[in-house]
Amino acid sequence: MLIKLQYLKAIFPGVVLALIFCLFSQGINNLLAIEIFGTPKSPISTVLIAILLGIIMGNAFTPRPGMMIGLDFSQQYILKLGIIFLGIRLSFEELIKFGSIAIPLIIVCILSVLILVKLLIKKVPISSKMSYLIAIGTSVCGATAIVATAPVINAKKSEVAYAIANITLFGVISMLVYPYFAEWYFNGDALQVGLFLGTAIHETSQVAAAGLIYDQQFNSPETLNVATVTKLIRNTFLVILIPFFAFLYNRGEIRGKNYSILSIFPYFVLGFIGMIIVRNVGDQIFSIENSNFEFYEVWKNFIGYIKILTTVFLTMAMAAVGISINLGDLKSMGYKPFLVGLIAAVTVGIISLIYIETFTKFI
C-alpha cells in the first residue's frame, strides 16, 4: 500500500502539469475563436495547441526529473486509457466495416516500406539493424515497435535512440500537416481521410492526435474512429513482424532472450474492443424500447462524459509528448538515417494515397 502511495505521489506533479497544459490549450482555443477570429471554432485545434505549447515549454525550460515520471505516465497510460475510451463511439458494424477495409491497406503499406528500406540501404549505407528499426517503426507503430524489436536483433542503444528520434521527427511533422492535407486532398471524405491518417502516421499517439485535430477542425467523428481502428490493427502486426525480423536477422536463431508474444501484444486494443462491447450492450439494454426514459437519459449522459474524458486524456497525453520532445536530440541525427526515414515516411504516405484512390472506389 505504501509503495502505491509513493508511486501516486511521484506521478502526480507530471500528470497535473499535463492537465494544466490541456486546460490552458482549450482556453487559448476559445480565445482565438471568440476574441481574435470571431468564429465559433478556432482555426487551430486544442490538441495542436497543446502539442506546440509542450514543445516550446519543454525546450525552453528543462523539465525536472520528478516531472518526467508523471509525463511518462501520461504518455503511456493516460494515452492508452483515452484510446480505450474511444471505443465508446463505435458500433460492432463500424468496427468490422472499417477493419475489413483497413487490413489490405495496412499489409500493402508494411510490405512496401520493408522492401523500400531493404533497397535503400544498398544506396545509403547504414547498419542493417538501424534499417530494421526504421522499417518497423515506420510501417507498424513507431517507438513501441522499435523498442520491442531491438532485443531480437541485438541493436545498440545508440541505434535505438537514432531510430526513435527519426520516427519522432517525421511522425510529429505528419501529425501536424496530414489532417489539413487530407481534408484538401480527399475533399472531406471521412473514410478515406481516416484510412490515410491511420496508415501514413507512425505512432499510436500521433494518429490519435491527428484524428482528434481533424475531428475538432472539420467536425468528423467518423474520421477519428476510422483512423483509430486502422492504427490499432497496425499495432497487432507486431506479433507477426517481430518474429519475422528475428528470423531474417538471425536466420532462425532468436538471440533476444526476453522476447515473447505476450510481452509485445498491445493489450489496450482489447480494452478498446471491450468499450465497443459496453457501448453496444448498453444501447440495447437502455434503449427507449427496453427501459424507461430516465435510464435512457442517464446512459446517454454517461456516454457523453466518456467522450469528454477521451478528448481530455488524449490532449493531456499529447501535451506530455510535446514537453518530452527534445529538439537538441533530433538535431544530433546523422543525415543517412534521416534520409532513409524521410523516404520511408513519404513512401508510406504515397502508397496509402494510391491504394485509397484506387480501391476505395469499389467499396
Q: Using the predicted structure, report yes or no on whether residue 193 has a pLDDT greater than 90.
A: yes
Question: Crossing angle, helix 204-218 and helix 157-185, to 10 degrees?
Answer: 20
Q: Using the predicted structure, report yes or no on whether residue 266 has a pLDDT greater than 90.
A: no
Q: What are phi and psi of 286, to 5 degrees?
A: -100, 20
Please count the CA atoms within 13 angstroms of the CA of 237 that sit on its side-chain side. Answer: 25
Q: Using the predicted structure, report yes or no on whether residue 333 has a pLDDT greater than 80.
A: no
All cell numbers assigned to 328:
537538441
pLDDT in tens, 40-50: 667 777 888 88
What's the chain's Rg over C-alpha atoms? Answer: 21
Indicate the domain borders of the chain.
Answer: 77-362
> What pLDDT, on a 0 to 100 scale, did the predictor assign at position 362?
62
> What pLDDT, on a 0 to 100 scale, did the predictor assign at position 116?
84
pLDDT range class, residue 262, cuts 50, 70, 90: low
Choose the most confident range, by mean pLDDT, from 79-88, 132-141, 286-295: 79-88
Q: The pTM is what?
A: 0.81
Q: What are phi and psi of 19, to 5 degrees?
A: -65, -40
Least confident piece of the model among 86-95, 175-184, 331-340? 331-340
